[in-house]
């Protein structure tokens, strides 16, 4: 909480960060490279669709 002045701001940031982090966290070390790349491409396509 070092750079956050209010706990409400920290909670808001943490909830947004968690949802985005979980969306892109694909556990690279558990998958083969080709499967990881397919999953990453699908995730980025979905993110672009949501962002526009």
pLDDT at position 22 is 67
The DSSP result for 32-51, as a single string, is: -HHHHHHHHHHHHHHHHHHH
Q: Which residue has the tokens 């558990």?
A: 30
**pTM over 0.75, yes/no:** no
The rounded Cα 48 to chain-centroid distance in angstroms is 13
Q: What is d(CA 24, CA 43) in angstroms, rounded to the nearest whole number?
A: 7
Residue 47 in this model has a pLDDT that exceeds 70: yes
pLDDT, one tens digit per residue, over 2-44 is: 677 788 888 888 888 877 776 666 666 777 888 888 888 998 8
């Amino acid at each position: 909480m070092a750079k956050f002045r209010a706990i409400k701001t920290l909670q808001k940031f943490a909830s947004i960060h968690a949802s985005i982090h979980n969306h892109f966290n694909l556990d690279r070390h558990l998958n083969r490279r080709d499967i990881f790349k397919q999953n990453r491409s699908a995730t980025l396509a979905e993110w672009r669709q949501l962002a526009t």
